[in-house]
Structure 1
Amino acid sequence: MRIIRYLNEHSKATLAAVTNEGKVYPLPQEGLIELIQQANAQNVSPLSLVEFTISKSKPIQYSVENLSLLVPIVAEEVWASGVTYERSRDARNYEATDGKLDATTFYDKIYEAERPEIFFKSTAARTVGPGQEVYIRSDSNWQIPEPELGLVINRDGEILGYTIGNDMSCRDIEGENPLYLPQAKMWKNSCSIGPAILLAESVEDPYNFDITCRIYRNDELIVEGKANTNQLKRNFDELISFLIRDNEIFDGTVLLTGTCIIPSNDFTLLDGDQIEIEISNIGVLKNRVKLPNNILV
């Protein structure tokens, strides 16, 4: 069962459930967290509460593709994990050593270390949803999307569901100096999530999600990459445990789990590119790239 948010005919944000058959049922709750809280109060699972609710109602006449989708959850904070796949480690080494792949760097060390790389990625104000524009920085010449599985968690670190995330990144800024990581990762519209949240109960094996990233330029497919979460170096409980260690998080926090799909080293995003990130059973997150005029970065 997938959970979405969309603008209804009265331009009101509406929570809804999407069945495996693609039927959309509006829900009475304002958001996912309220749904979870009501399920807990009734001592039932979120999936059971949704199934009971939609059994008493009728679907709307529109399909998901015809709706004006919003971010599936307004996450006060989005965090991200780095160097969780071997491919990511190799790419970070390339950035940091000017292409000397035989050099050993701190990225090799963190790949093998007990403590993972976890960094603050975005706030609700910086995060966009499906169909919205993601921005590229004006002071970077090497920028890419990073397609990632996102964990939607509560303040105790329990996984509530899974979504798609795009961790926009500046490879040249990060490669120049690791202390520049916040600038390489966080700016206006530098993160997108959506289009849906797949309830955790609906997932048999979270380490078997197929991930695909496609980038179009002038309607031509110029980049396509595929991966699977079974390639992860670290498991989700491990990442979450370090995020919440001596740290207070919010219900509905999103933790991005790292990428295994990185375009070739001669590629950079340009204004007008279209990014599509697809994860099996969750959907396709689509965002157009824009270099804003007079943006403060």
Structure 2
Amino acid sequence: MTTDSDLESDLTRGGSTGGLAMGRFARTMGLQLTTLVGLLAIWEGLTASGIVPDFLMPRASEVLATLWRDVTDIITGGPMRGHFFTTLVEILLGFAASVVIGVAIGALLSEFKPVQRALYPYVVAANATPRIAFAPLIVVWFGFDYTSKIVMAVAIAAFPIIVNTMAGLAATDRDDLRLMKSLDATRSQVLWRVRIPTALPYMFAGFETAMLFSAIGAVIGEFMGGNAGLGYVTLLAQELFRLDDAFSAIALLSLQGFVLHRLVVVIRRRIVFWQAEDAAV
């Protein structure tokens, strides 16, 4: 029977745990912000003193001013908003296609060993090929619209999902498989009730990597044949030697990738709730 003192003890313990977690989060954020400010200060000092010429790198203060202008432009519906959301859509569609294709291929190769022996060497060989070498061909094949950027993102991002899906499905405990077999479970029941739950941590590790790779693929596609997007803005600014605009677009790309990666992490924590978390993440 639970007494008032036991309940009070549990509430105190829960509050203490939450306080410790918030304290760790605050210290981590403080450390990260301090590091960022320190790096910006070093950057500003090197460029303001002339150690690094301004035609090689703009001052940090100029980049921050341009970044603030671009963020304001995005919020107020200026021209930068179109470039920002063009790249965002390309990344998300490329990531979604990579998840569908990567999980399907990984599950196929894991479930059917003859297929794995026949196709996996070619999957590895395709991943070893620099996809940027095919970027001009992808533009020729799929045009200058969203499709070529999405295909480029999938070409880069699908492989880590394939490999992690295979590794996760192969990590299923043999005793669990024997138990399901003794219960006359079908192949699909074993897959959905045992193997996929076991594979989820591995799969989400692949999803986190794939989200970042999708951003890289989308930008490469914009470099090779784009007329909109943050990659296009970066390339155009570099050609015009407007380095502050180029660095601002790069910062927005980094922000996009970081936020989208953290979104995958948050979803993983909700779905794979039994996995231990690193306090520093």
Structure-1-length-normalised TM-score: 0.24
Q: Which has the higher helix share?
A: 2
**Larger of the two Rg values belongs to structure:** 2
Task: Provide the TM-score with structure 2 as the length reference.
Answer: 0.25
